Structure 1
Amino acid sequence: MSKKHSNMEFRFIKYCIALLVFFAFGCSNVKYLPEGELLYTGASVTVKDSIIKKRDRKALEKELEDLLRPLPNKQILGLRPKLWIYNLAGEPKKEKGFRYWLRNKVGEEPVLFSKVDLDYNSSILRNFVENRGYFKARVSADSTAKNKRITAEYLVWPKKQYKIKSVSFPEDSSALGKAIARTSRRSLLKEGNPYDLTVIKAERERIDARLKEKGFYYFNPDYILAQVDSAKGDYEVHIKLKIKEQTPEKATIVYKIDKVVVYPNFSISKDSLKYKKEDVVLYKDFTIIDTAATFKPRVFDRAIYFKKGDYYNRKDHNLTLNRFVNLGTFSFVKNEFKTSDSLKNTLDSYYYLTLLPKKFIRVEVLGKTNSASYTGTEINVNWNNRNLLRGAELLTVSVFGGADFQLSGQNNGQNIYRLGAETSLVWPRFISPFNWEGSSEFVPRTKASLRYEYQNRTQLYALNSFKTSFGYIWKENSRKEHQLNVVDITYVSPNNVTAAYLEDAKTDESLKRIIEKQLIFGPTYSYTYTNTMQKRRKNTFYFNGELDLAGNITGLVTGANIKKQDTIKIFDVPFSQFVKLKADFRHYLKLGKESELASRIILGAGFAYGNSSVLPTSKQFVVGGTNSIRAFRARTLGPGSYFNVPTVNNYLPDQSGDLKLEFNTEYRAKLFSIVRGALFIDAGNIWLLNADPNKIGGEISKDFIKDIAVGVGAGLRFDLSFLVLRTDLAFPLRKPYLPQGERWVIDAIDFGSGPWRKENLMLNIAIGYPF
C-alpha cells in the first residue's frame, strides 16, 4: 500500500472517531436525567403582529428571548459537551479532587424543565413590551417535548405601540423648577417617538446629572415624577414631568463650597483624625492636616478642583477624586461633603487619603521561549520610591539580566546574555516654561530616564547601549493619550567582535551596520486612542501612531542636511538622520458573550536622509515571531522575496527593512473554565526602500503584494487573572521567498510527515495576547 493511501486511511479513521465522540455528546445526556424529568433545551418567542416591520419584529423577539430564565445548557455546534462532561464525571465522593473539579468547574449540571416557570416568564415578557409602549399586550406560553427533551414557545400579541404626543416640564418659578426647565432643549423625550419606560428613567437621570453641575448637591432622580396620560385612546401619551411634593427642602437649594479640608495620612485602622495645632497648614483655600509633613501643599492645589466660593459641581467632584487616584501614592481615597455650620447653603468638603507604602521592591522572574529555538530566563529587580521629593514623584531604579540559549537549531551555541540598569523619575506635573496643568482627570506627567544595557551574543559580538530621555505624558481622557520625548538620545558602541562575524560582515552590509557605532537624537511622539475598556460595545478600537525624528535640528546646525561626501561626526561618532512613521490599528468585534474577532493592521515607513544613507538597525522594522507572523521564526522573514540563508560561519542573521505591512486576524472564544481558544491568520512582510545587491528581491516594487507571507494556526490561552499564558501553533500557507508560481504551499501541508512538521510547524509560547 502506498504512503499516500496509508495517510488517507489514517485521516478517515480520525474523522470517524471524531464523529463517534460528537455522537456520544449528543445522545448520552438524557439517560442521566432523574425519573420523570425532561431536559430543557431552550425557548423561542414569536411576535404576532402584521404592523411591525419584519426587521423590528425580529429585533424585539431577540430582546424578549434574552429575558427568559433559566438559560439552557450551553451548546457548541448544536451539542452540549459541558453537560456531557458533568455526566461523565459522575457524583464525586468528596468536595475536592479531580472528579469534583471536572464535574463542577468544567462540566455543567442539566437544566431541568421543572425549573422553568412559564407563567412567570410570560409576565416578564408582558411587562417588557408594555414598558415599550405596547399597552394591553397579550402573551401565551406552551411547550413541546420529544425524546426527554423539551422546548418552550411564547407567543406575544403586542397591539399598536403608543407614541409621545407632548412633553411638558415644570413651570413653577422656583430655582429648582427653572433649572429643570432649562434642561428641556436636550431632552431624551421627543414628540413622535415611541413611549419607552427606560427612556423616561434615562431622562430623569439626565436631569439629575445636569442639576448636579448647577449646585443641587442633595437632589436625586427619584424627586422627579413623570405623569403619563393615555386616556384619550388615540395610541398617544402626554408626559408631564413634575417635582414631587415630598421633595426635601435641601434638594431644592443650590450649594457653594466653603471649607476644603485634606487628611493626607488617614488610616482606617486607627483614629487618624486627631491632630495638633502645628499639624494644620493653611494653603490658599485649603486646610491641610498632615501630621507627618508628608507632602508639599502644592500637590493638593493641583489635584483639587474646588475652591472656596465655587458652586458644587459633580464634574469637579469626580475630577478631584480621579486626580488623587492617578497620583499613584494613595491606596484609598474618600470624599465627604457636610453642610457647613458657619455659612448658609454651603458645603464643607473633606478628603481622607490613605497612603500606599512609600518604598517597595518588586522582583520579576520569567521564563521564555521563541520560534527561533531560543529558550531562556530573565530577572528584573525594581526599587521604587513613591514620594521622593514630597511632591508625589516616583523614582524607579531597576537592574535586570537575562540569558537565551539555543539548545538546537541553526544557531546552536550562539547564546545571548543581557545585563543592565535603568533609573527613571516621574513628576506628577509638567516641568516646562509653560504653566499648563490641563483639566483632565488624569494627572499630566514629566518623565526623565537613563538606561544602560550590555548585550553579548557569544561567538559573534557584544553591544553597549546607553539611552536617556526627557519628555511628557498626558491624557485628554480615558481614551486618548499622548507621549512626547523632547530629548531622546541613544548611543550604541560594539566590542568583542569575533573574527568569524567580521568575515561574514565583509559580504553583508547589514551585518556590518550592526557593529557600527550609533548616535541617535530624538525627539519622538506617540498618540494612542482606545475604547476597548467599554466592554458593552460590539465594536471597539485601538490606534497607536508613532513619529520618530532623528537628527533634524542637529542636521540644520551642522549642515548635514546638505549632501556632502563626508559624514559629519559628533564625538567621533556619525549621528543618524531619519524620519520614521508607524501606525498600529486594531478592531475588536464582539460576536457573543465569550467570543470575539480581533484584527490588526500595522503600517510602517522609515526614510534616512542627510547624514545617513540607511536607517539604524535598531530602528528598522522586523516581522515574524510570537507577536507578529507566527508561522515564521522571529526576524527571519524578508525583506521582500529575499531568502535568508545561513552565513559561511553557520550564522542566521536577523532581517530588517525600511517598510512594513502586516495584517492579523484572530477568532477568540472561551472553551471552559480558564481556557480560551483561538484560530488565527497572519500576513505581511518588510521591504527595503533601495535595492541591496546582497539582498536580491528585498526592495519595494509595484508588485509588492506578491511578496506577502501568509500563515495560519490555532492556540490556547490560559487566563490566570494576573496573567495570560499563551501557546500558538502555526504553519505557513505562503512563502514569499519561493519562486513565482510556487509560493502558495497549501498543497504541501502534511501533518503526518516528520520532515514537514520540523520545517513548518512553529510553536510560540508567550505571556499575554499578541494584540
Structure 2
Amino acid sequence: MRGSLGLLYNRAKIGLLLLLFGISGCNTLKKVEDEELLLTKNSIFVDEEKVTDSEIKGLIGQKPNSSVLGYPLRLNLYNLAKENPDSSFNDWLHRKEKREKRLNNFLSAKQVNRLRESFLVKGSSEFLKRIGEPPAVIDTAKTNKSVKRLEAYYNTKGYFNSAATYEIVEGKREKRAELHYKVNLSKPYIVDSIQKNIASPELDSIYKLSAKKSYVREGEQFDLEKFTLERERLTSLFRNSGVYNFQESSINYDILRDTTLDANDQLLDIQLNIKKFRSSSNGVDTTTNYRVARIKKINIYADYDIYGAADSLQVLEYDNYNIYYSNKLRYKPKALTDAIFFTKDSIYRDLDRLRTYRQITNLNTFKYPNIDFIPDSTQTELVSNIYLAAKPKYSLNMNFDITHSNIQQVGTAFSTSVITRNVFGGAETLNVSARGSIGLLSDASLSNETFTSEIGGDINITFPRIWFPFKTEKVIPYYMLPQTRLLAGTNFQRNIGLDKQSLNSVLSYNWSPTNLHKNNFELLNVEFVRNVNPDNFYNVYRNTFSNLDDIADQFKGDSQYDDYFEVDDNGDQFLDIPNGANTFADDVLNGSIPVTSEEYDEVNSIEERRVRLTENNLIFASNFSHTKNSKSDINDLDFYQYRIKVESAGGMLALVANVVPYNKNDSGQNLVFGVPFSQYVKTEFDYIRHWRVGESQVIAFRSFAGIAIPYGNSNSIPFVRSYFAGGSNDNRAWNAYELGPGKTMNVNDFNEANLKLAFNLEYRFPLVGDLKGALFADAGNIWNVFDNENNPDAIFSGIDSLADIALGNGFGLRYDFTYFVFRLDLGFKTFNPGKVGSDRWFDGYNFKNSTFNIGINYPF
C-alpha cells in the first residue's frame, strides 16, 4: 500500500512538472492567425495628452489579455486546450482497434460515446477553455464602437464637436500591436443662462428656496452628469418637502441656441422644465398640479396578517397614533411609535419614511415592514398605514465553522444560540449562546499539547434604544439606530499558555450617525482572568525555563543545592518544576545564592515575568471606538476604512480608593476580591485602503498603531490586553508571538509588549476561476515603553528604534468559497532586527526557513 502511494505521489509530481513546463513553454501566439494581431496595450490620448482616468479607460470595449506580473497565464491555459478533442479521441480509438481486434466485444457504442464525453478526453479541453482566456485579437468592429463611446462621453462633457480616431501600432515582436485612441476635443460649450418653467406654484416656491444649491450654474462648462445630479437633487428636495408623489420624469431640460449666430459661439441657454403630475385612470391621462401634503392619520397594524380582516382588530390611540392589534397588544406602544419618524399633521418627507424602514428593521422583531400612504381627493392629506408582521418569538441557530486565530492555525468550532424576541414587550432581543472549538496550535512551542480547546457561553440582551438614566434622544436620535447591549459570559481555554478561565460582562452602546460611520461606547467592560495552572509556568514557557536553568548549571553537582534539582532518565540534572525553579529564583534575588550582576538581572527579569503571567487579572475598563467605511457594496474594490479606539481601565476603581480602603499585596497594589486591578490607558488607530488597479486586481494597504500605558496600580499591561507581532493576520514571515520586542530575538515563548506598529501591503490578482494569488510585504514590530521592562533591546527609545522594524514578504493563494475565503501564505524574513549586521538582511531567505500560514478570509 505504501509503495502504491509513493508511486502515485511521484506520478503526481511528474504530472505537475509537465503541466508547468507545458504552460511556460506554450506559444502565446498559438491561436493567432497570420493575418491577425494580438492586442497588447490600449492607450488614450486627448489633445495629445495621455489619459489615465479609469472611468475613461473603461469605455474601451476590447482589452488585452489579463496577466500575472506580465505573464498571460489564462491565455496560455486556453492555448493548451485542443481545438477538436473528438478527433484526438478517434485517433486513439483507431490505434486501439488495430492493437486489439476484439475491442468492440467489451466496449459498446454507448460506452464509447460516454468515454468521448469524459473529462479526460473532451472535458479537459473544455475545462481549460473555461478557465482560460482566448487571445485578444484586434477587432476593428469593436474598436470603432470604442471610438463612438469616446465621442459620446466627451459630448456629455460639453465637447459637442469632438472627434475620435484610432491607430494600430504594430510592435517589434511579431503579430502583436497596440491600439492608440486619439480624441480631438475642440472648444467646450458653456451654460450662458438658465431659465425655468415650473408648472406647479408650490414647486416653484420650494425651488426658489434652494436655487443657489443647483449643480447646473451659469458660466460653467456643459456637463450632462451635473444635469443628472440636479434632477436627483430636485426629486429629493420635493419629496422631502411634502410632495410625496413627485416623479423624476417630470423634470427635463431644453437646450436653447440661436443657430443663426456665429458657429464659433459656444454659449448655451438652458431651460428647466418641471411639468405637472401625470396620472392614468381607466385609460385616460390627466394632469394636476403638485401639492404639498401633510399626514392626517397614522395607523400601525402591530399584528398584520394578509389573510386577516382589519375590522376584526382592536385599536389603541397612543400619542396621535392608532395601534391596531388582535386579542392582546404584545408590544409597549412607545416601542412602536418611537420607530416611526413622521407624526400627525407633519408634512410628508421621504427621509422620514426611509428612517422608519431602517429603525423597524433595527428592532429585530418584525419582518421587513410595508408602509402605504393614501391621499385624499385634494392630494394634500395622507393616511399612513404601517403593516408589521412579527418574526417568530423563538429561533434556534446552529453553526459549524472553520476557525482561525492568532494562536491556532486552523480549527473547527461549533456554536448554538437560542434567540428570544420582544422579551419585555419593548422589542428587546435575548440571545443565549454556547460554543466550543478545537484547533491545531500555530506553534508547537506554545504548549506541551498539539491541540487547543475552548468552551464558553454568553447571555446577551439587546435593547433597540439607549438604555440610560437620562434621555438621549436629542443627542442620539432614533434614526441613528441606537442599541444598548448587556452581556455576561464565561470562557475556558486549555493548552494555551497556563489554561485560562475568564468571566466578562459588558454594557455597551452603539449607533450609526450615517451609513458610513459607526460608534461604539463600552461604558463598562469588566473581565476577570484566572490562570488555572500557574505552577505549570516553566513547563509552558520553555525558553524562559532554559534561561533560568542555564544560570543554575554552575550549581549542579553541589550537594548543598540538590534540593533545587531533579534527575531525568539520562542522569542529567534540571531545575525541579515548579518548586525547585521558584525557590532557586527567590534565593538568587534575596542574596542566598551568589551570582554575577548580569545573572541577577536575568533572574529578576524572569521572576517578574513569571509573577506577571501567573497572577490573575481584573480589568475594569471603558472604551470608545469610531469607525468609518466608504465601501458602497460587496463589489466595491476601491474604498477606505479607519477605526479609532480609546480605552481606559482602573480609573473609577482608583477614585473609589480615596473613599474605600483597599487591601494591598506585598508590592503595594490595591486589591479587589484579592486580585490587583489593572490601570492603564490605551489608544489604537487602524487604517485600510484598497485601490482597484485592473480587472479584479487590487492593491490593499493597512497601517496600525497602538499603545497601552500602565500607571497607578499597574506597572505593566495585562497579557490579554498587550500586543504581539507575527501570525497570519500580521507579519506573515514570523509565527504568532515570535517577533520582537524590539531587536530581541524570540527571547520568550510568548513575546508581547505594549507598543505596536504594523504596515501591510498586498497585491491581489486572479489566477484561475475562484483561485486567486497575492504578493505581500509586511513590516512592523512591538516594543516596551513606560512599563517595567529593563532590557534596552526591547524598549522603544525614540526615532532610532524605528530601525528595528521587521520586514517580511512572500506570496499566497486564496480560494473563494463565496461564504468565506481560504488562505495560504508563505512568508520570508527579509529584514530580521533580532540579528546583527549584514545577517539582518536575507539571512535564511529560502523555502526551508519560510513561515507557512493558514488563514480564513483576507487579513485586511
Q: Would you say same fold, with TM above 0.5?
A: yes
Identify which of 421, 428, 444 aligns with 2:482: 444
**Partner in structure 1 of residue 418 of structure 2:** 383
Q: Deviations over 1:680-708 (max 9, x none)?
A: 11111111125767856222213212322
Matched, 1:85 2:63: no
**Partner in structure 2 of residue 132 of structure 1:** 157
Alpha-carbon separation, structure 1, partners of 2:156 and 2:118: 45
Alpha-carbon separation, structure 2, partners of 1:637 and 1:79: 35
Q: Deviations over 1:160-195 (max 9, x none)?
A: 221111222347782222222333201111222211
Matched, 1:724 2:821: yes
Matched, 1:254 2:292: yes
Deviation at residue 148 of structure 1 after TM alignment: 6.9
Deviation at residue 260 of structure 1 after TM alignment: 2.3
**Partner in structure 2 of residue 635 of structure 1:** 737
Alpha-carbon separation, structure 2, partners of 1:469 and 1:74: 50
Deviation at residue 461 of structure 1 after TM alignment: 3.3
**Where do 1:180-199 residues align within 5 Å?**
180-199=207-226
Alpha-carbon separation, structure 1, partners of 2:503 and 2:804: 36
Matched, 1:202 2:220: no
Alpha-carbon separation, structure 1, partners of 2:166 and 2:757: 56
**Partner in structure 1 of residue 351 of structure 2:** 315
Identify which of 644, 660, 664 aligns with 2:760: 664
Letter in 1 for 2:425: R
Q: Deviations over 1:201-249 (max 9, x none)?
A: 2222221211111111222232223121232331111112123378564
**Where do 1:531-546 residues align within 5 Å?**
531-533=630-632, 540-546=639-645
Deviation at residue 422 of structure 1 after TM alignment: 1.1
Identify which of 39, 42, 47 aligns with 1:41: 39
Range with bigger deviation, 556-565 or 283-292: 556-565
Deviation at residue 555 of structure 1 after TM alignment: 0.7
Deviation at residue 467 of structure 1 after TM alignment: 0.7
Range with bigger deviation, 420-429 or 140-149: 140-149
Alignment partner of 2:459: what SS?
strand
Q: Deviations over 1:573-622 (max 9, x none)?
A: 22221111122122222223412222122111112122222222211111
Deviation at residue 749 of structure 1 after TM alignment: 2.1
Deviation at residue 462 of structure 1 after TM alignment: 3.1
Contact 1:47 1:158 in 2 (8 A): no
Structure exhibiting the larger radius of gyration computed from Cα positions: 2
**Partner in structure 1 of residue 99 of structure 2:** none
Alpha-carbon separation, structure 1, partners of 2:499 and 2:710: 25
**Partner in structure 1 of residue 364 of structure 2:** 328
Alignment partner of 2:246: what SS?
coil
Alpha-carbon separation, structure 1, partners of 2:365 and 2:342: 21
Matched, 1:655 2:734: no
Alignment partner of 1:426: what SS?
strand
Change (3 A) 1:76 1:89: same
Deviation at residue 448 of structure 1 after TM alignment: 0.5
Identify which of 490, 493, 510 aligns with 1:455: 493
Letter in 2 for 1:487: L
**Partner in structure 1 of residue 511 of structure 2:** 474
Change (3 A) 1:427 1:216: same
**Partner in structure 1 of residue 319 of structure 2:** 284
Contact 2:253 2:272 in 1 (8 A): yes
Matched, 1:766 2:855: yes
Aligned-residue RMSD, C-alpha: 3.7
Alpha-carbon separation, structure 2, partners of 1:426 and 1:346: 37
Change (3 A) 1:86 1:449: same
Alpha-carbon separation, structure 1, partners of 2:738 and 2:186: 66
Identify which of 231, 254, 274 aligns with 1:243: 274
Contact 1:219 1:251 in 2 (8 A): no
Identify which of 62, 66, 80 aligns with 2:58: 66
Letter in 2 for 1:612: S
Contact 1:170 1:242 in 2 (8 A): yes
**Partner in structure 2 of residue 648 of structure 1:** none
Contact 1:22 1:79 in 2 (8 A): no
Alpha-carbon separation, structure 1, partners of 2:277 and 2:679: 73
Contact 2:191 2:218 in 1 (8 A): yes
Alpha-carbon separation, structure 2, partners of 1:264 and 1:210: 31
**Partner in structure 1 of residue 833 of structure 2:** 736
Change (3 A) 1:100 1:498: farther
Deviation at residue 472 of structure 1 after TM alignment: 1.0
Alignment partner of 1:628: what SS?
coil
Change (3 A) 1:351 1:413: same
Letter in 1 for 2:743: S
Unaligned runs of 5+ residues in structure 2 are 1-15, 86-115, 279-285, 540-577, 586-602
Deviation at residue 664 of structure 1 after TM alignment: 1.2
Change (3 A) 1:262 1:116: farther
Alpha-carbon separation, structure 2, partners of 1:513 and 1:156: 70
Contact 1:169 1:184 in 2 (8 A): no
Range with bigger deviation, 680-689 or 352-361: 352-361
**Partner in structure 1 of residue 103 of structure 2:** none
Letter in 1 for 2:266: Y
Contact 2:662 2:671 in 1 (8 A): no
Matched, 1:495 2:532: yes
Identify which of 351, 362, 378 aligns with 2:386: 351
Contact 2:369 2:389 in 1 (8 A): yes
What number of residue pairs does the alignment pair up? 729
Alignment partner of 1:298: what SS?
helix
Contact 1:448 1:468 in 2 (8 A): yes
Contact 1:336 1:351 in 2 (8 A): yes
Deviation at residue 332 of structure 1 after TM alignment: 2.8
Identify which of 193, 196, 208 aligns with 1:169: 196
Deviation at residue 351 of structure 1 after TM alignment: 2.9
Deviation at residue 711 of structure 1 after TM alignment: 0.9
Contact 2:411 2:439 in 1 (8 A): yes
Contact 2:252 2:274 in 1 (8 A): yes
Deviation at residue 677 of structure 1 after TM alignment: 1.6
Alignment partner of 1:252: what SS?
coil
Change (3 A) 1:158 1:463: closer
Q: Deviations over 1:89-135 (max 9, x none)?
A: 34676598963772464123456667935665554444333332222
Percentage of pairs with the same residue = 26
Deviation at residue 738 of structure 1 after TM alignment: 1.6
Alpha-carbon separation, structure 2, partners of 1:381 and 1:658: 35
Alpha-carbon separation, structure 1, partners of 2:407 and 2:677: 32
Q: Deviations over 1:294-340 (max 9, x none)?
A: 43322221211011111111111211112222223344333332223
Letter in 2 for 1:102: F
Q: Deviations over 1:618-645 (max 9, x none)?
A: 1111111111111111112221222334
Letter in 1 for 2:653: T
Matched, 1:677 2:766: no
Range with bigger deviation, 102-111 or 420-429: 102-111
**Partner in structure 1 of residue 455 of structure 2:** 419
Q: Deviations over 1:541-575 (max 9, x none)?
A: 22212222111121122149999972221222222
**Partner in structure 1 of residue 110 of structure 2:** none
Change (3 A) 1:139 1:658: closer
Alpha-carbon separation, structure 1, partners of 2:644 and 2:179: 52
Contact 1:371 1:762 in 2 (8 A): no
Contact 1:305 1:317 in 2 (8 A): yes
TM-score by length of 2: 0.76
Alpha-carbon separation, structure 1, partners of 2:363 and 2:125: 45
Unaligned runs of 5+ residues in structure 1 are 1-13, 646-651, 752-756
Alpha-carbon separation, structure 1, partners of 2:42 and 2:617: 68
Letter in 2 for 1:639: P
Alpha-carbon separation, structure 1, partners of 2:805 and 2:857: 26
Range with bigger deviation, 440-449 or 687-696: 687-696
**Partner in structure 2 of residue 700 of structure 1:** 796
Identify which of 804, 807, 811 aligns with 1:714: 811
Letter in 1 for 2:81: A
Change (3 A) 1:264 1:148: farther
Range with bigger deviation, 160-169 or 427-436: 160-169
Alpha-carbon separation, structure 2, partners of 1:434 and 1:655: 45
Q: Deviations over 1:25-82 (max 9, x none)?
A: 5222325xxxx99567388576675xxxx55x7368x766533435554455666433
